Amino acid sequence: MLFSQFFAPTSKDIPADAKIASHILMLRSGMISQTASGIYCWLPLAVRVMEKITKIICEEQDRIGAQKVYFTTIQPADLWIESGRYDAYGKEMLRIKDRKEGDFLYSPTNEEQATDVFRKYVKSYRGMPVMLYQIHWKFRDEIRPRFGVMRGREFLMKDGYSFDINFDAAKETYQKIFRSYVRTFRRLGLTAVPVQADSGAIGGNMSHEFQVLAETGESTIYSDKRLFTASDEELMTTFAVTDEKYNPKECPIAESDLIVSKGIEVGHIFYFGQKYSKPMNAFVLNENGEKIYPEMGSYGIGVSRLIGAIIEASHDEHGIIWPEPVAPFDITILNLHTKNEKCVETARRIYDALSSSKEVLYDDRSITVGEKLADADLIGIPYQIIIGQKKIENGLVELKNRKTGEITEMSIEQVIARFM
Ligand code: ATP
Ligand code: MG
């Protein structure tokens, strides 16, 4: 991709209403454009990151046998009246009337709809378990949209729903999802700590939030310091709770072992048994021909919030530092002197060589050297290949690692070989 043709409206200005790094950097790097409070258009740089994230999520969902669907963004109110949540959901729900005065809503989540799809088609224990997920837009009319995409009104969520024949099977599914989430966040280049949320109706810790530690997080987390060295198996039971649940009198951990930190909730999994299957009469027949109501759970990842969370966890005073698995491009080539023939020729040669196997953004714009270097640090692509007129006289270019800041001089052949 040539930067001169790429729609990434970068800016030096610090937007007045942006308070946290991710919001400022997403606006400055031209990733998002606000259209109303908590509602954003997603521009190409952001979409590239979003697609990397969704690909990883989908691969990990596939691995555990969850199947991708698209539920709808508009749902009939009737489904929510059946579950009893229509009134309870309150003002966060955007309610819509169609031309026939029918009551609809913009999905804030899809438990009812998933249950409805299940009950229409699955009538026997033989058709179970079922695990469906989607990655789709949600709308919640948050009372205080803020921090850019962190708490938006329209946001992208991965939401999954599971249906099991009994509690033991549901518990197994829950544990499978738990491990899958640990893996997913790790692949995204993040440390997301699982925190025990409301315990399920049948005891045990059957609800966890996944929190990315960052000073700007909205949650306060009290955790056992061993959490940070725990194995995947130990993670589920190592003590960690948010302030909503923390009670110093009941804390099972010695104060000296307790760590208090701020976190951003990027995922939430929970088991809720027959909360929807019963009122919505979604039953199947078991092997004895008896009616049973499936044990359900739902599992969310805040995909658009994750982009903000990744930036909160990985930036410096110059801009974003993308973890490699989610970076919008692998490499950026900075041609510092677009009128110098040797520089142009070298940039083109490296670009052509690397483009077949890597995603490369070639900054061919005629702007000052300072602006070009600043934009590259702002956008945060992991590797910068810098071509300047002095060094190229000796056949050398510079390779800069955005994360470490380390700059290495090398020949054109060496830099190509480095990425092949
Ligand atoms: P929160 O406590 O942050 O409001 P929640 O408990 O309402 O979150 P869930 O209903 O569990 O969230 O949704 C699943 C995931 O969707 C959350 O873990 C979070 O990452 C994301 N999410 C929820 N609300 C928003 C929002 N307003 N903007 C962006 N992402 C959100
Ligand atoms: Mg909420």
Rounded to 10 deg, the angle between the 167-187 and 44-63 helix axes is: 140
Tell me: the pLDDT tens digits for 360-387? 999 999 999 999 999 999 999 999 999 9
Of the pLDDT bands very low, low, confident and very high (cuts 50, 70, 90), residue 199 is low
Are β-strands 383-387 and 331-335 bridged in parallel, bridged antiparallel, or unpaired? parallel
What pLDDT score was predicted for residue 236? 86
270 CB under 6 A from ligand 1? no
30 CB under 6 A from ligand 1? no
Ligand nearest to the CA of 142: 1
Take atom 15 of ligand 1 and give the residue whose Cα is closest.
302
| Residue 293 DSSP class | P
If you measure from the C-alpha of residue 156 to the centroid of ligand 1, how many angstroms do you get, rounded to a whole number? 10
**CA–CA distance, 365 with 294 (Å, rounded to integer):** 59
Q: What is the mean pLDDT of residues 2-10?
A: 97
157 CB under 6 A from ligand 1? yes
Q: What is the DSSP string of 327-352?
A: -S-SEEEEES-TT-HHHHHHHHHHHH
Phi, psi of 411 (to 5 degrees): -80, 165
pTM, full prediction: 0.96
The mean predicted confidence, pLDDT, of the chain is: 95
Tell me: the pLDDT tens digits for 268-277? 999 999 999 9
Of the pLDDT bands very low, low, confident and very high (cuts 50, 70, 90), residue 204 is low
Q: Which two tokens stand for residue 192?
A: 């997301």
Tell me: the pLDDT tens digits for 8-44? 999 999 888 899 999 999 999 999 999 999 999 999 9
If you measure from the C-alpha of residue 340 to the centroid of ligand 2, how many angstroms do you get, rounded to a whole number? 54
Burial class (CB in 10 A: 0-12, 13-18, 19+), 140: buried
